[in-house]
A and B are shown apart, each in its own frame.
Chain A
């Protein structure tokens, strides 16, 4: 048997029972790797359940900084009896199977291509600790201690973390450190020179931070000056508003009065949540809500109102696996079409696609400027993987000179100085965006009646076809204006001669870059474009036009972004070949590499057949 050997490049998977306190132990492990300067990416694969069901925690360690999922597991820590068989089966040949040997492995565990490392976690724990509550938690800390030995991680990194964590309760630090040592010592005494996976301190993390996307979005909303949030709890978006609330408690309390400079309302449902946002935005506050697919479905009617009555909305969609309730704790990018065209009638909404926490923060802040500038819903398309997992990210930054772009709003003074009759839906400067007023601005000027029914330029109700048509056409002018304002795509031409390019967005980014890099190493330089917004800008279409074949990589079944490219920009379907992962788990570099390999082989074969005259 050949053992997998690697320094700073491997995948560790913890198989746990949820609700057993494993999260903090697993976190401790991931954070320790981060602290020795090695890029790390932990992913929670958890059930829609509070206690008792299987949950996994997959830690990708990669010196080069590729932090999407790779595919395959090199070392498993199997402490969940329910999934023992599966975890054993799924381990890569040459891998390491660490299990709780307080109980023997079943007889049918007969693989001879892996290394078995049995450590009696439960036994060690029960012998040492008497408090039954603590036992369950500390058992997890013991396996972290064992891993430290197996992977050559300095125990001091972990003990420092523990000491820091329990700064205010040093009494709790003590048993935790003891547990670490128990695990470490047992592995040292029984499994010396067994594991060929190794961690070495590095400087590759640099100045980066470890943060989840939802917190970054919530923080972005604080920085952007959001003052009203209406929301309804739904996995995986809940922690966006929770983060907003946490940071608001820190930054938004009036010093002299103790009152809050923010209104956060847990609504009765998603309809009310977005209604609150629309009412607040209409009244001149920056407002937002966060939800996931089922909430998007419920918000459809209101989104159409905001589109047609032209009211700013910032909506965060942390996507999960659909349809219907789907897999609430699994990830997907499957709301793209539902969001792009949310609501009945001819409606289109602006979408932003962040790929890491830094972009979550920036796009969250930008979304408020865009929503007020464009007077329309802006939907941030995050997903469970980005939102709920910690990601290595460049540090966040804020330009203190930045002013909020409140868009076209007339003050009392502006109204007094107007020479011509003001119309709420009168496009005076040709960009499709009209001036609005906030209620209460002026005693006699600027009042208007907002409605979802057809209206003329002065916001009066009308059923006159020509006026209706003019309004609908103007919204398209605004749509074109949006293209100049939304975040530009990121493209990389690695080989101008290569006629094959890949196109992707959001959390597909990291695994795709890793796959591209693998091809580059083999001499095939693939050009790439990362879409960051909808509507698509000219650069996106130019990129597609300058290649013969584009692989569109997405995490949904129906190739939704591909559909948008075809529908909105008339791209030929033959040109766009899909690579689709929609099993609910984050897409892996292995998956993308295999698919590109296959598609390239087919291309080549077709090319030869064409030459041979068979086609």
Chain B
């Protein structure tokens, strides 16, 4: 069941520049477990949309199957949503994006949905650099089927059942960088301060923006033996950088100290200002980005923040040189060659 949220709100609720209140970005009430990391991720999406003045009806949200894939029902109730089949969100998003390049696409998936059943589609959406915001809520387990290990569970990590996972884990961020994503980040649902700018940066980015959101499963994988518990993640987190996302046309007020700061200009003119904890962590170089992840992993640390960004890679529509008009807006006049042309084809077949 999904439950509608009460509509009553404080009459003076703040509006953003587009004239929407926070409420306009909310959805139905979540039916996930109390304390689920996914709800925090959902709240992060809502906040990012509100702060970026996104028009709700210009967003299409899609998902696969699993706990995470339920979340599109819990944000942006004024947007069209599509809860598809297990592991196939990327192809649905691909088709939708091909049909109308003018909408903002939010694809929500989970670690089972992405790293196992949907690995193929994940890989190929990356490879095509589809203009999609791919948010993976990663809890290392299958929640809806009661806690089985997923492919992102770390080797040796044990959830509620207490059996250590014997297999190596898949690092989705490393894969994303290698396979062609042009914006790769990792956040933690428990750190909204970091997560919201990461999501905003993704929205401003043209091309595939992948965010691996470590999002603990309070019911099945929040044990002291799990490496995806709130406690473990908090203790082992390491940030590449903190950053400010400065939307287009907004005045830059902060003073950035030279040497520790790096500016990345997005396609829409927005700027990301990175404040590096460590000046070696360059996020615009693919080799260094992968190296950063591996280095921290070797130290038993989980690297978060913006991991890699490349504004030079063409997104799918540019690769296939498709029209700037949304394909779904074209009519007979644009599309049908007419009978005269057909008669010429007949002639060529005689």
Stretch in B6-14, B220-228, B256-264, B337-345 touching the partner: B337-345
Q: Taking CB as reference atom, which chain B residue is nearest A230?
A: B95
* Interchain CB contact under 8 A, A279 and B95: yes
Q: Which of A262-302 contact B (CB under 8 A)?
A: 262-265, 267-269, 271-285, 287, 301-302
* Interchain CB contact under 8 A, A439 and B100: yes
C-alpha spacing A301/B331, complex, angstroms = 31
Q: Taking CB as reference atom, which chain B residue is nearest A444?
A: B78
Given contacts A305-B84, A447-B57, contact A209 B349 (CB under 8 A): yes
* Interchain CB contact under 8 A, A209 and B350: yes
* Interchain CB contact under 8 A, B335 and A252: yes
Chain B residues closer than 8 Å to A223, beta-carbon distance: 336-337, 342
Q: Which of B71-113 contact A (CB under 8 A)?
A: 72-73, 77-85, 88, 90-100, 102-103
Q: Is A442 an interface residue (CB 8 A)?
A: yes
Residue from A283, A302, A461 in contact with B99 in the complex, judged by beta carbons closer than 8 Å: A283
Chain A residues closer than 8 Å to B124, beta-carbon distance: 267-268, 272
C-alpha spacing A593/B57, complex, angstroms = 63
- How many interface residues does chain B have, given as a range? 35 or more
* Interchain CB contact under 8 A, B60 and A283: yes
Q: Is A419 an interface residue (CB 8 A)?
A: no
Q: Is A463 an interface residue (CB 8 A)?
A: yes
Stretch in B188-196, B210-218, B282-290, B319-327 touching the partner: B319-327
* Interchain CB contact under 8 A, A443 and B98: no
* Interchain CB contact under 8 A, B80 and A276: no
C-alpha spacing A286/B338, complex, angstroms = 18
C-alpha spacing A572/B336, complex, angstroms = 46
Stretch in A4-12, A76-84, A143-151, A448-456 touching the partner: A448-456
* Interchain CB contact under 8 A, A251 and B349: no
* Interchain CB contact under 8 A, A440 and B102: yes
Chain B residues closer than 8 Å to A271, beta-carbon distance: 88, 91, 120-121
* Interchain CB contact under 8 A, A279 and B91: yes
C-alpha spacing A301/B336, complex, angstroms = 32
- How many interface residues does chain A have, given as a range? 35 or more
Chain A residues closer than 8 Å to B323, beta-carbon distance: 254, 257, 259-261
* Interchain CB contact under 8 A, A261 and B73: no
Given contacts A209-B349, A259-B322, A396-B345, contact A280 B80 (CB under 8 A): no
Chain B residues closer than 8 Å to A277, beta-carbon distance: 95
Chain B residues closer than 8 Å to A404, beta-carbon distance: 331-332
Q: Taking CB as reference atom, which chain A residue is nearest B77?
A: A447
Residue from A260, A287, A450 in contact with B320 in the complex, judged by beta carbons closer than 8 Å: A260
Residue from B93, B324, B328, B338 in contact with A400 in the complex, judged by beta carbons closer than 8 Å: B338
Shortest CB distance A293–B (Å): 20
* Interchain CB contact under 8 A, B57 and A275: no
C-alpha spacing A430/B330, complex, angstroms = 30
* Interchain CB contact under 8 A, A219 and B345: yes
Q: Is A507 an interface residue (CB 8 A)?
A: no
C-alpha spacing A199/B306, complex, angstroms = 75
* Interchain CB contact under 8 A, B2 and A461: yes
* Interchain CB contact under 8 A, B1 and A450: no
Q: Is A441 an interface residue (CB 8 A)?
A: yes
Q: Is A398 an interface residue (CB 8 A)?
A: yes
C-alpha spacing A219/B321, complex, angstroms = 21
* Interchain CB contact under 8 A, B341 and A227: no
Pick 14 A–B contacts, CB within 8 A, sort by A: A222-B337, A225-B332, A225-B336, A227-B328, A228-B98, A263-B317, A265-B128, A272-B120, A279-B95, A281-B95, A283-B99, A283-B100, A398-B336, A438-B328
Q: A395-B346, A447-B77 are in contact. List 11 more A-B contacts (CB 8 A).
A: A34-B350, A260-B320, A263-B98, A275-B92, A278-B95, A279-B97, A279-B99, A282-B99, A439-B96, A447-B80, A463-B1
